[in-house]
């Protein structure tokens, strides 16, 4: 299947964890004992915290952020009797901070599968595959920008945070110097962040509710072309201390109250309604997330549920796979009743990306000898060969300094004999993915006149 512009990717915490292994999950260790010490003087908040820490559906001392944040933010009708609202607000803020601290620590611990993240980001940008995500991190955001860090609003395959979130989003530098946003190509892919983002910040003192004109993007990886970047620490005093994000709660009052999120969810609905297929990656589609269920029922309702939806998760062994399949089939079946077991894949996001977003090339005998990752050619042994260059259109010549080979008949890697001469320059090798699953041979072909098979062990 071609995962082209008709594809929408829906990303959850498992997607982030494939590239940021230490990233926290909603049920995780958030320093519960330390939080208890902070709230020892607030009996009502302490009671809720202690109750959550001792629940039997997770390891002792862990927290289910979704459940606890739901209780703290949604409230109960009798909370007024105990005047607990302020302590609940403070505990909710501490939980958000604990989550952000864990996420920052994970980013310092380093990423994994950089080649696969580069490949996914580049594929989405070039094919204009929009992404709907419930994640707060900016791992994919940074990868999308770094794939081609050029400020070109009228180039549809270049993603930029100024326009790539579905609304005009000024950089935080606009708090200290003018940085207008020019009109962007409306055909660009979008990264639609339904719960906000760690790099979405609000100018200091701005009243709620927040509109699309309010949010500023604030991150170390973005810089305008031709200008010096103002250090983030110089901008911080002009911003509210917390990023703009909505906790992963079961009730969605905040989503309705905030104009920026109403707009973002509307853009997500539009993207889903125009999709020809949907790929869910690392997202559990919890039964408790009623708003997400409605979004996907109404947005993807016209798709063939038995063929046009894929669910990607990760399992280390058959027992884990079987356990996850049961849970995920029940969750997705609640929204897509016709979904089948064959639509669930447990190879993980990174493996799925390298297997599905690359193309294998074969020699004249039909043996797979190399693969293409966004026009960069890598041998079956993992050796970088070169990049497809458009010097002799419509030929697909591959160069790396000198001519290396070319793609013939769509998927054959052959070499002209004698080869074109000259030195066409040295392309910097991108962070390429690992070798995908090797496919079986295909039918042999008769070598065209003037061509031979490529010696991939040669220069």
197-247, pLDDT tens digit by residue? 999 999 999 998 898 889 999 999 999 877 788 999 999 999 999 999 887
Residue whose tokens read 């620590």: 105
Contact criterion met (CB below 8 Å) for 369 and 337: no
The pTM (predicted TM-score) of the whole model is 0.93
What's the pLDDT at 85?
86
364 with 351, same domain?
no
Question: For residue 402, what are the β-bridge partners?
Answer: 400
Q: Is residue 32 part of a domain?
A: yes
For 6, 11, 304, the CA distances from 275, given in Å and listed in that order, are: 5, 15, 11
336 with 426, same domain?
no
What's the pLDDT at 239?
96
Provide the mean pLDDT of the chain.
Answer: 91
281 with 409, same domain?
no
What's the pLDDT at 320?
95
Mean pLDDT of 135-150: 95
Domain boundary pick from 84, 109, 134: 109
377 with 233, same domain?
no
Q: Is residue 217 part of a domain?
A: yes
72 with 119, same domain?
no
Supply the range of the domain harboring residue 398.
Answer: 358-453
Q: How many domains does the chain have?
A: 3
- Report the distance separating Cα 186 and Cα 288, nearest Å: 34
Mean pLDDT of 261-275: 94
334 with 243, same domain?
yes
Contact criterion met (CB below 8 Å) for 445 and 453: no
Residue 17, pLDDT > 60, answer yes
Residue 459, pLDDT > 60, answer no
302 with 206, same domain?
yes
Host H or E run for residue 323: helix 318-335
- By mean pLDDT, which of 150-164, 357-371, 372-386, 403-417 is the weakest? 150-164
CB environment 203-234: b (16+ within 10 A), e (fewer) = beeeeeebeeebbbbbbeebbeeeeeebeeee
Q: Is residue 320 part of a domain?
A: yes
What's the pLDDT at 426?
74
369 with 423, same domain?
yes
Residue 1, pLDDT > 60, answer yes
270 with 289, same domain?
yes
Domain boundary pick from 326, 355, 384: 355
Of 246 and 434, the one with more pLDDT: 434
170 with 303, same domain?
yes
35 with 11, same domain?
no
What's the pLDDT at 69?
86
Mean pLDDT of 257-268: 89
14 with 43, same domain?
no
């Amino acid at each position: 299947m071609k995962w082209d512009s008709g594809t929408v990717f829906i990303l959850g915490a498992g997607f982030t964890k494939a590239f940021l292994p230490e990233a926290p999950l909603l049920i995780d260790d958030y320093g519960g004992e330390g939080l208890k010490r902070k709230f020892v003087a607030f009996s009502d908040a302490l009671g809720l915290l202690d109750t959550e820490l001792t629940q039997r559906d997770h390891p002792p001392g862990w927290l289910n952020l979704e459940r606890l944040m739901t209780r703290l933010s949604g409230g109960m009708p009798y909370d007024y009797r105990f005047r607990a609202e302020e302590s609940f607000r403070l505990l909710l803020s501490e939980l958000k901070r604990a989550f952000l601290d864990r996420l920052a620590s994970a980013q310092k611990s380093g990423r994994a599968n950089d080649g696969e993240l580069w490949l996914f980001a580049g594929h989405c940008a070039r094919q204009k595959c929009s992404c709907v995500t419930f994640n707060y991190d900016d791992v994919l955001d940074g990868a999308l920008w770094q794939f081609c860090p050029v400020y070109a609003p009228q180039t549809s395959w270049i993603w930029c945070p100024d326009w790539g979130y579905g609304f005009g989003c000024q950089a935080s530098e606009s708090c200290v110097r003018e940085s207008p946003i020019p009109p962007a190509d409306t055909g660009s892919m979008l990264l639609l962040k339904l719960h906000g983002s760690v790099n979405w910040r609000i100018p200091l003192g701005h009243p709620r509710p927040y509109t699309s004109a309010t949010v500023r993007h604030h991150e170390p990886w973005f810089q305008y072309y031709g200008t010096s970047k103002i250090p983030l620490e110089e901008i911080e005093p002009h911003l509210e201390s917390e990023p703009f994000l909505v906790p992963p709660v079961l009730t969605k009052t905040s989503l309705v109250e905030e104009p920026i999120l109403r707009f973002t969810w509307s853009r997500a609905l539009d993207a889903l309604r125009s999709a020809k297929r949907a790929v869910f990656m690392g997202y559990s589609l919890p039964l408790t997330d009623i708003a997400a269920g409605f979004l996907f029922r109404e947005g993807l309702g016209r798709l063939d549920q038995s063929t046009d939806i894929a669910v990607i998760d990760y399992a280390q062994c058959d027992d884990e796979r079987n356990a996850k399949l049961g849970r995920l089939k029940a969750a997705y079946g609640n929204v897509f009743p016709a979904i089948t077991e064959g639509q669930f894949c447990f190879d993980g996001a990174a493996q799925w990306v390298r297997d599905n977003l690359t193309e294998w090339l074969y020699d004249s005998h039909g043996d797979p000898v190399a693969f293409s990752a966004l026009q960069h050619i890598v041998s079956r042994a993992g050796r970088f060969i070169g990049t497809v260059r458009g010097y002799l259109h419509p030929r697909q010549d591959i160069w790396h300094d000198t001519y290396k080979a070319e793609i013939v008949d769509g998927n054959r890697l052959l070499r002209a004999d004698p080869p074109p001469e000259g030195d066409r320059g040295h392309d910097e090798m991108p962070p390429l993915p690992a070798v995908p699953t090797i496919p079986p041979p295909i039918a042999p072909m008769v070598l065209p006149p003037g061509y031979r098979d490529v010696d991939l062990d040669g220069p």
